[in-house]
Amino acid sequence: MQNVVLGKDYLRLLERWLPFARSFVYNVSEKPELEYFGTGYNNWAVQTHQKAFSAFAICAADPDIDEKKCKMKRDEILSHSLKMLRFNLESHIEGNYYCLDGTKWGHTWISVLGLERMMHAIDAIRDYLTDNDWYLLKKVMVSESDWLVDGYFRDMPEEKGKVFAGKITHNHPESNIWNGAHLLRTVLMFPDVRRKNEYIEKATSFIINGISVASDAKSRKIVNGKPISQWFVGDNFFPSFALNHHGYLNVGYMVICLSNIGMLHFAYKMAGLKAPDFIYRHIEKLWRLVKSCTFPDGRLCRIGGDTRIRYCYCQDYAILVWLLIKDLLGDTECEKFEKGWLETIKKEMNINKDGSFLSTRCRGLLERAPIYYLRLETDRACTISMAAYWKRFFEKILEKEKKIPALKQWNDKYHGACFVRGKNRIASWCYISAQPPQGLCVPVKRSDLAEWRNNLAGCVMGYGRVNYQKPVYHREFIFDNGFVTIGETQIYSESFISEGQLPEILAKNEIVFAALPDDTTCIVMQRCIANLPMTYIYQAKGLFLNIPNDIYNGCERTYWFEGGFTTLKGPAKKQEKIVFSSSWLNVDDCLGIIGIYGSNSFLIYRPKKRQAGLKLNQLEAESMETGLFVDEICYPYREKIIVRKGSIVFDIGCAVIANKNRQQTRFLSRNVFIPEIESNFDVKAAGIKCFDGKNYLVVVNFGQTKAEVRMEVSGYRKANSLIKKTSISLPNEIFLGPKCVELLILE
């Protein structure tokens, strides 16, 4: 097996995709010299067209292309490429045609993104461009650059020409980077442009305020004649390098930021020039976090979740990041990420059997939202085309070697985010997340088990079409090789079919999540209490552990339990509820779940459609299947119930153990315990003796007042203290502050 991924490995994927893509290429009837991909509309359809052009052009230019696999001659592929490019340029504000929705594209905060993503392809077929092609290309690029200098705005049209940045409001790291990159690229390609110095100055402002942090406001480092502090307008990233994009901790857009720097990096390298140093600011620090949030097979570990189709978009652009980091910093581990991701792509293409990247699991999206579907297809095609092109010239893409270790632990206070990664387990928790809150406990090498949609946070749905949890408070504490977090959410149900029915706060959900320092075990405690005088609940799912059961795991999961096993194929063809009268479950002999208190059985809920994908309301989800199919492990499961205010919906404690088989799970299920404590409605405790030989006990006070807890234990030491005033007076006594949790290691 070869040690490196070659350009031709990427090219082979494009050869398979091209015949599928050809069916979406159409001729403009009144202008046969123009062709469009998809709908030919403005906005994201323009970007989709540009990315499709990239894939066609790279195939046309590569000397190793296999025409038989493409089912087209090279000249035919080139002809499509040129016609697609000309349609794109002519439908711009500077062109003589229009998009097929009757508008012209250009002069928006996002319009140069598509240009950036297709410039490698223009470079690949540059020898086939006419003088008129070059004239119009320059006209388009200069027009966009002039607008970025004079008229740019994103959120505030009254503030034209200004660059904005901010951790929460005006969080624009990715667009600032691609806008700055376009300005530098225009100067790189057309050094005779009249406003060259203005472009460089504005590009500097954009990029300095891309991956920006608060300390930049005091930096004296000189960039283009001024200290960074004078270029600085805002910090897009937190000091921890957390990124709150689209309103949640967004690992995916950390990747998008780095990917746009990668495109610019290789543009300079292809030109035989060194890029300005300032475009690489903070890259290594951000990469360490992104690398930590990457499984060994290249899949992103999105600890803050995702509101979009899994294994798509940001994941695709990770290819460009790996190539950049390998070339710039010499991190050879990027090679294994590439290998793993290519195998994942191949696996899905083999299942699709039509040359597409996504048609099996996203067919509903193709039927109902073709623009969006094709956008996702071309993201993958475009990134693969960049890798194929750059590696054709820089096959090894490695100038030096440097070991950049992943972070073992990380946290961010604002997002209530905690993360720990060892040899066996990745565990995380995040409150300000895509579908909050959400946690994770999986073996390091099993990315196929990872799904974040309210994972391990419980799930309650009313009769509204929109149901969600909103964090009220959260506290976190990090200790060596683990963490503990406590928080509360309000559960909302809204957008009812009944006219005039107001949004409802159905319940409050109190949660503790503890990643124990044994590199294996997590303890989950949830208490959900009804909020309304009469609370109508459609579904209540305690624990709510999401187990993807789709193409990436071969559409099959084996669940072991006390007394046997069952194999479930996904996606399910009909709704199923499978009850296991067992105190434990194990998934595929590698992930165990143990009930400690709150239910006598587990239930796996299986809807009849894929449910983990685009964030949709219930009616949309029922009519448009997207994403991954997930087996939902519930402890307990209740449906169509009516409960009064203050009633318990579920009150549970579980242990999740990573990288352990069924025998080990069964053994540990005998080692859970609940110490006898004095009766207190708000105090809960759950313990387990782990494989490291230590007895761990989580004790929580969900109440509003301090609690004195007496336990039948001989003594203990504390792993953490979330409340400084917490004190111990006796070996079997502990005082817990309000809304406080302790992780104890028993003697």
The string of pLDDT tens digits covering residues 255-298 is 999 999 999 999 999 999 999 999 999 999 999 999 999 999 99
- 622 pLDDT band, cuts 50/70/90, is low
Token code pair at residue 134? 């070059």
The string of pLDDT tens digits covering residues 448-460 is 999 999 999 999 9
pLDDT at 688: 96
Domain 7-393 CATH class label: mainly alpha
Residue type, 181: A
pLDDT at 724: 37
Residue 304's nearest CA partner among 454, 409, 493, 408 is 454
SS3 686: strand
What percentage of the chain carries pLDDT values higher than 90?
A: 86
The string of pLDDT tens digits covering residues 324-342 is 999 999 999 999 999 999 9
pLDDT at 736: 87
Residue 77's nearest CA partner among 385, 322, 436 is 385
CA-to-CA distance for 169 and 331, rounded, in angstroms? Answer: 34
CA-to-CA distance for 347 and 341, rounded, in angstroms? Answer: 10
- What SS3 string covers 545-586? EEEECCHHHCCEEEEEECCEEEEEECCCCCCEEEEECCCEEE
497: which residues sit within 8 A by CB, 6+ positions away? Answer: 465
pLDDT at 184: 98
What percentage of the chain carries pLDDT values higher than 70?
A: 95
pLDDT at 726: 41
E strands along 56-212, which residues? none
Domain extents for the chain?
7-393, 416-670
Q: What per-residue string of b and e applies to 87-112 under the rule 16 or more CB within 10 Å gives b?
A: bbbbbbbbbebbbbeeebbbbbbebb
pLDDT at 719: 74
pLDDT at 675: 85
CA-to-CA distance for 705 and 316, rounded, in angstroms? Answer: 49
The answer on pLDDT for 722 being more than 80 is no
> Which of 68-72, 615-619, 691-695, 729-733 shows the lowest mean pLDDT across its residues?
729-733
Residue 465 DSSP label: S
The string of pLDDT tens digits covering residues 351-368 is 999 999 999 999 988 988
Unique residue bearing structure tokens 């199919």: 629
> Which of 82-96, 181-195, 516-530, 677-691 shows the lowest mean pLDDT across its residues?
677-691
Peptide bond into 571 cis (omega under 30): yes
- 710 pLDDT band, cuts 50/70/90, is confident
Give the β-pairing of 564-569 and 591-597: unpaired
For all residues of the chain together, what is the average pLDDT?
A: 94
pLDDT at 59: 98
Please say whether the dihedral angle defined by the alpha carbons of residues 411, 317, 207 and 233, taken in this order, is positive or negative.
negative
pLDDT at 398: 53
The answer on pLDDT for 627 being more than 70 is yes
CA 355 and chain centroid, separation: 25
| Helix (H) and strand (E) counts in the chain | 17, 31
Question: What average pLDDT does this structure show over 608-635?
Answer: 80
- 723 pLDDT band, cuts 50/70/90, is very low
pLDDT at 728: 41
**Of residues 708 and 419, more confidently modeled:** 419
> Which of 225-239, 373-387, 620-634 shows the lowest mean pLDDT across its residues?
620-634
Question: What average pLDDT does this structure show over 458-463?
Answer: 96
pLDDT at 430: 98
Fold of 416-670: Beta-galactosidase; Chain A, domain 5 (2.70.98)
- 678 pLDDT band, cuts 50/70/90, is confident
SS3 716: strand
Query: Dmax of the chain from CA atoms?
Result: 88
CA-to-CA distance for 621 and 626, rounded, in angstroms? Answer: 8
Q: List % helix, strand, coil for the chain (3-state, nearest 5).
A: 35, 30, 40
